[in-house]
């Protein structure tokens, strides 16, 4: 049972020592190791407590005496034996999905299969794969192959967990019960051979049901191959496609789940093996084969990043992959290892420092005097340590997109500080560069210079601030009364972001202009040598820098439009809030009465993440308050003021829909329309979905504001807060970053 | 029915057992005796019980709140509500509200800068109870509970310190 379990003669009786020591203890004393805190405590077990003591699990006689090396039922009846093995295999395969897609534990899914437990124990003992030995090949080859293949796949999942990309318990449960998951098995070769042998054997059978088993073995083969995405970084989609197809096929076929032989699945392992968890009932699996398809599709999606052609595509890919919906746990784990590789490269192609420069070049650095390649070794010394820091921060930024939905927001929160500090460090370095004559001039009169590195860090920071706030809506963190402050703040941040974008744009325009002006200059020059020299320079710039500048310009067009969309939607949201406040239906403070409520303190707590950020400065509490006042309408002529506001919201939404349409068109056309670069080629479907959802949100807001006012106008008695309550409503097609401020009838709910 | 609110008598085994049964029956998480002892023995003054004086002593505890109070990252004092339960037959009469109020006031007197707790996303009753007292949902925690549900972490700010990241209150590590 336990490894190295001592013999009886090696044990001593400590009862008396224990009792004697215990006598001196006073009533409230707690004995514990120093590291044992509440967190450990909430996971501690208790002897004789049925909810916490797995030794109290009751097993039937059949479960207790189940012999994995015995054939169940009439061994000469092929039909019976096929049914046995099909039902066990079917349940085991469904358990894999319950484990991975539905977050069930390992002991209640895969390890609840007694054959898996048996094979793992036997294999660990002899340090090599030990199939069953019943004398019947359906057990010894097919069922064994399936169990061993799944365990080998489990070994890969364990590897993902150990690499730190997935969180134990949260993303995945890998309570392995002290069993060795074939760690001695260095490659999949032997496992795959066993599975192939099983297929060959199944072909010799003359019974139509063998097809089930052949397919089950194929599924297992596909699972075994998944590790190649992280070992050889294979991008071969063959097995993932097959897995998706089989998942789909079996999703509509009823197999024999209800008829598994008694004892083949049991809670027994929780009782028998080294178990640090409370007892848990087995999961009652229903048909979930489509889960294989979901898993395969998400992993396939990850591998697409391999086809990237620019840093921009990597950035957009990660954003749409991670920020919008939670991906399959394996896909998230694989993404991290596939993208940031063991050999410290990105996708095996780019060294880390180059990767940072690539990102910078996509945004603000192209054509700059302070580009790293233009600097002397001494000047480089100012920047290099900061670029090193930037590498770390950037990698964490990418890694964050592979986390679960809730952790992504926490990641944004942490990163605000990292980018804030990075910005300050870049500012120092760039100031030193300027003092050393490395100046990026935007205009001479007045003198305006340009800091491409810190501007990038600033842009990233403000974007994270916005994403952090909006993700809070997606995760249903805020109460309706908070919507004003949250959307007003996003609106404020989009202004700051717009300013940063404009600075980059100005520099790029200036650069493009100055290159173009060289052509005219050439004509004016008198000497042939000078003409020739400038021509060469001009040609070089036109061939190298100009295309990049044009690219940057198009990317900025996209970023600016995207920023305007966020700005307008946020504006519409808090303007609606203003309308509701005008009728007294909602306020920007909690309406409940409690001695502990301090509105200003609550507001400050909500904005805690930003209070330490110097630029952009967090508006004061008073500014939030006075801004809401500005957007609150009052008598006289309240109704007509409201109707003007409706007109305004309508127009703003219509404008936003147009902007969204042009982004949608650019994505659909593969960025070929020459005005906008979205970088979404590799993740087109998800990007389209995101902007479609925003478009629905605009349309929903247009309808919503009319509905709100109609509802309000029907009721003549005041205060209206007695009749209505504001809720945040998530529509089916709209974006979860912009839920609707809807009115719910109070009489209906109470 | 006459209800009596009082703080726990740590030497009273019957009260201890009743609290454990009450919580075990109603909270989805199974807690070991250690968890109860951790709270009750370390902070006996921060557990309050409600007694129905008309019932026999062995079964008269009909509600409880269990809290602790610790220094968080050496920077701010954080009160924490670990468990809150009211017997099914006594619900909807404001008992939980009274218990929470009493506990918060106690922790406030003990100079707490904030009160924190976690509750399941699906526990709308508890969320409403706390939000109405000024608690704010700060984070969503993915699959926080053993029964697989997400949770919210809520905080009630009591002083300005609650509104400043601990990194800027003198703690060197980043507060997330
Ligand atoms: C949560 C619980 C402690 C509330 O106890 P209670 O004594 O019934 O609560 P109260 O009567 O003091 O009600 C307090 C507030 O809770 C909310 N509430 C209580 N019952 C509610 C119900 N049935 N529906 C909606 N809200 C309800 C209300 O906001 C109420 O305030 P209001 O009456 O001013 O509107 C109780 O339901 C319980 O023990 N539940 C199981 C354990 C649990 O979930 N604990 C909290 C986890 S931390």
Task: Give the number of the atom of ligand 1 that is nearest the alpha carbon of residue A592.
Answer: 34
Per-residue tokens: A198: 């099983």
Per-residue tokens: A383: 């920047």
Any ligand 1 atom below 6 A from CB of B127: no
Statement: residue B147 has pLDDT above 70: no
> Per the domain annotation, does B175 fall within a domain?
no
> Per the domain annotation, does B138 fall within a domain?
yes
pLDDT confidence band for B146 (50 / 70 / 90): low
Please tell me the distance from the alpha carbon of residue A734 to that of residue A574, in angstroms, as a whole number: 17
Any ligand 1 atom below 6 A from CB of B88: no
Chain B residue numbers with beta carbons less than 8 Å from the beta carbon of A406 are 139-142, 150
Query: What pLDDT was estimated at residue A257?
Result: 52
Q: Give the torsion sign (CA, A236, A242, A243, A247).
A: positive
| Partner residue opposite B38 with nearest CB, options A29, A30, A590 | A30
Statement: residue A284 has pLDDT above 90: no
Mean pLDDT of all residues in A466-482: 98
Q: How far B87 CA sits from the closest chain A CA (Å)? A: 20
Please tell me the distance from the alpha carbon of residue A300 to that of residue A293, in angstroms, as a whole number: 10
Q: Residue ranges per domain, chain A?
A: 54-291, 308-477
Cross-chain Cβ contact B32/A598 below 8 Å? no
How far apart are the CA of B126 and the centre of ligand 1, in A? 6
Please tell me the distance from the alpha carbon of residue A417 to that of residue A420, in angstroms, as a whole number: 5
The answer to whether the beta carbons of residues A444 and A388 sit under 8 Å apart is: no
Statement: residue A502 has pLDDT above 90: yes
Please tell me the distance from the alpha carbon of residue B120 to that of residue B134, in angstroms, as a whole number: 18
Chain A residue numbers with beta carbons less than 8 Å from the beta carbon of B152 are 477
3-state secondary structure of A722: helix
Range name among A17-31, A90-104, A678-692 with the lowest pLDDT average: A17-31
Cross-chain Cβ contact B134/A602 below 8 Å? yes
Percent of chain A with pLDDT over 70: 98
The answer to whether the beta carbons of residues A690 and A320 sit under 8 Å apart is: yes
Any ligand 1 atom below 6 A from CB of B22: no
pLDDT confidence band for A21 (50 / 70 / 90): confident
Statement: residue A2 has pLDDT above 60: no
> Per the domain annotation, does B112 fall within a domain?
yes
pLDDT digits 0-9 by tens, A639-693 = 899 999 999 999 999 999 999 999 999 999 999 877 999 999 999 999 999 999 9
pLDDT confidence band for B175 (50 / 70 / 90): very low
> Per the domain annotation, does B176 fall within a domain?
no
DSSP A183-196: TT--SSHHHHHHHH
Cross-chain Cβ contact B30/A51 below 8 Å? yes
Angle (CA) A307 A311 A312, round 5° = 95
Give chain B's domain count. 1
What CATH number did the domain enclosing B59 receive? 3.40.630.30
pLDDT confidence band for A718 (50 / 70 / 90): confident
Task: Give the number of the atom of ligand 1 that is nearest the alpha carbon of residue B86.
Answer: 39
* Higher per-residue pLDDT: A106 or A673: A106
Mean pLDDT of all residues in A519-526: 87
pLDDT digits 0-9 by tens, B156-172 = 999 999 999 988 887 65
User: For chain A, what is the largest distance between any 2 Cα atoms, rounded to a whole number of angstroms?
Assistant: 108
Mean pLDDT of all residues in A497-506: 97
Average pLDDT value over all residues in chain A: 93
Q: How far B51 CA sits from the closest chain A CA (Å)? A: 23
Mean pLDDT of all residues in A233-238: 97
The parent domain of residue B156 ranges over 3-168
Q: Whose CA is nearest to atom 13 of ligand 1?
A: B94
Range name among A59-68, A288-297, A523-532, A553-562 with the lowest pLDDT average: A523-532
Query: What pLDDT was estimated at residue A407?
Result: 96
pLDDT digits 0-9 by tens, B94-140 = 999 999 999 999 999 999 999 999 999 999 999 999 999 999 999 99
With a CB cutoff of 8 Å and minimum separation 6, the contacts of A129 are A123, A148, A182, A185, A190, A191, A194
pLDDT digits 0-9 by tens, A322-344 = 988 999 999 999 999 999 999 99
Q: How far B10 CA sits from the closest chain A CA (Å)? A: 8
| Partner residue opposite A477 with nearest CB, options B31, B140, B168 | B140
Please tell me the distance from the alpha carbon of residue B128 to that of residue A159, in angstroms, as a whole number: 42
Closest by CA to A192, choosing from A231, A222, A161, A228, is A222
Query: What pLDDT was estimated at residue A31?
Result: 78
């Amino acid at each position: 049972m336990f490894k190295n379990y001592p013999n009886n003669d090696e044990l001593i009786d400590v009862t008396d020592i224990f009792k004697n020591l215990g006598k001196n203890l006073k009533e409230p004393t707690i004995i514990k190791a120093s590291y044992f805190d509440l967190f450990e405590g909430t996971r501690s077990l208790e002897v004789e407590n049925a909810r916490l003591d797995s030794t109290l699990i009751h097993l039937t006689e059949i479960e207790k005496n189940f012999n994995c090396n015995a054939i169940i039922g009439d061994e000469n009846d092929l039909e019976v034996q096929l049914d046995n093995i099909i039902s066990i295999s079917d349940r085991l395969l469904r358990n894999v999905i319950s484990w991975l897609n539905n977050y069930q534990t390992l002991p209640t899914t895969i390890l609840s299969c007694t054959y898996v437990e048996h094979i793992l124990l036997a294999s660990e003992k002899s340090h090599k794969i030990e199939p069953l030995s019943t004398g019947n090949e359906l057990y010894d080859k097919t069922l064994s192959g399936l169990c061993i293949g799944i365990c080998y796949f489990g070994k890969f999942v364990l590897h993902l967990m150990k690499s730190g990309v997935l969180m134990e318990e949260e993303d995945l449960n890998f309570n392995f019960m002290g069993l060795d998951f074939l760690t001695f098995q260095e490659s999949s070769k032997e496992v795959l051979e066993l599975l192939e042998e099983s297929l060959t054997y199944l072909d010799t059978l003359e019974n139509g049901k063998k097809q089930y088993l052949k397919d089950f073995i194929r599924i297992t083969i596909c699972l075994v191959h998944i590790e190649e995405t992280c070992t050889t970084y294979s991008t071969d989609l063959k097995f993932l496609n097959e897995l998706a197809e089989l998942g789909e096929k079996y999703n509509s076929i009823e197999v024999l789940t209800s008829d598994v032989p008694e004892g083949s699945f049991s809670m027994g392992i929780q009782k028998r093996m080294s178990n640090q968890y409370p007892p848990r009932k087995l999961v009652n699996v229903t048909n979930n084969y489509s889960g294989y398809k979901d898993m395969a599709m998400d992993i396939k999606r990850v591998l697409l990043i391999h086809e990237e052609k620019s840093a921009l595509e990597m950035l957009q890919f990660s954003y749409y992959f991670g920020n919008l919906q939670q991906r399959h746990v394996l896909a998230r784990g694989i993404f991290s290892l596939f993208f940031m590789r063991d050999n410290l490269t990105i996708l095996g192609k780019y060294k880390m420092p180059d990767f940072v420069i690539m990102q910078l070049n996509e945004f603000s650095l192209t054509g700059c005097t302070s580009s790293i390649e233009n600097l002397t070794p001494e000047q480089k010394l100012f920047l290099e340590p900061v670029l090193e820091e930037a590498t770390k921060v950037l990698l964490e930024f990418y890694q964050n997109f592979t986390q679960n939905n809730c952790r992504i927001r926490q990641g944004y929160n942490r990163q605000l500080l990292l980018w804030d500090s990075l910005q300050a460090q870049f500012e120092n370095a760039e100031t030193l560069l300027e003092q050393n004559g490395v100046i990026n001039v935007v205009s001479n009169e007045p003198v305006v210079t340009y800091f491409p590195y810190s501007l990038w860090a600033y842009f990233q920071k403000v974007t994270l601030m916005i994403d952090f706030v909006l993700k809070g809506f997606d995760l249903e963190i805020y109460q309706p009364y908070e919507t004003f402050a949250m959307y007003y703040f996003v609106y404020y941040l989009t202004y700051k972001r717009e300013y940063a974008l404009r600075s980059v744009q100005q520099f790029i325009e200036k650069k493009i202009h100055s290159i173009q002006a060289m052509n005219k200059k050439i004509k004016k020059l008198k000497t042939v040598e000078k003409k020739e020299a400038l021509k060469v320079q001009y040609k070089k710039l036109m061939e190298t820098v100009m295309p990049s500048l044009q690219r940057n310009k198009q990317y900025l067009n996209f970023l600016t439009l995207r920023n305007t969309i966020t700005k307008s939607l946020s504006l519409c949201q808090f303007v609606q809030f203003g309308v509701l406040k005008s009728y007294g239906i909602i306020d920007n403070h909690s309406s409940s009465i409690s001695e502990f409520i301090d509105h200003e303190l609550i507001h400050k707590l909500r904005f805690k993440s930003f209070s330490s950020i110097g630029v952009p400065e967090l508006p004061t509490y008073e500014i939030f308050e006075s801004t809401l006042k500005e957007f609150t309408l009052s008598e006289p002529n309240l109704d007509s003021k409201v109707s003007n506001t409706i007109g305004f919201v309508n127009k703003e939404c219509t404008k936003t829909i147009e902007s969204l349409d042009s982004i949608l068109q650019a994505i659909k056309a593969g960025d070929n329309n020459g005005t906008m670069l979205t970088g979404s080629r590799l993740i087109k479907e998800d990007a389209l979905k995101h902007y479609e959802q925003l478009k629905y949100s605009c349309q929903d807001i247009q309808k919503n504001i009319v509905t709100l006012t109609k509802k309000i106008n029907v009721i003549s008695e005041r205060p209206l807060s007695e009749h209505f309550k504001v809720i945040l409503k998530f529509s089916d097609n709209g974006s979860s970053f912009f839920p609707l401020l809807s009115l719910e009838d109070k009489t209906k709910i109470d | 029915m006459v209800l009596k609110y009082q703080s726990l008598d740590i030497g009273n085994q019957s009260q201890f057992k009743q609290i454990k049964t009450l919580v075990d029956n109603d909270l989805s998480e199974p807690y070991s005796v250690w968890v109860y002892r951790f709270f009750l023995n370390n902070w006996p003054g921060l557990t309050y019980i409600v007694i129905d004086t008309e019932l026999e002593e062995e079964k008269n505890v009909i509600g409880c709140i269990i809290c602790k109070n610790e220094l968080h990252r050496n920077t701010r004092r954080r009160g924490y509500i670990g468990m809150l339960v009211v017997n099914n037959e006594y619900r909807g009469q404001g008992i939980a509200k009274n218990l929470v109020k009493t506990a918060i006031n106690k922790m406030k007197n003990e100079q707490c800068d904030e009160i924190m707790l976690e509750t399941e996303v699906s526990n709308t009753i508890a969320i409403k109870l706390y939000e109405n007292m000024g608690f704010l949902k700060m984070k969503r925690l993915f699959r926080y509970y053993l029964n697989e549900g997400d949770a919210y972490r809520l905080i009630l700010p009591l002083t300005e310190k609650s509104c400043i990241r601990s990194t800027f209150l003198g703690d060197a590590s980043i507060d997330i």
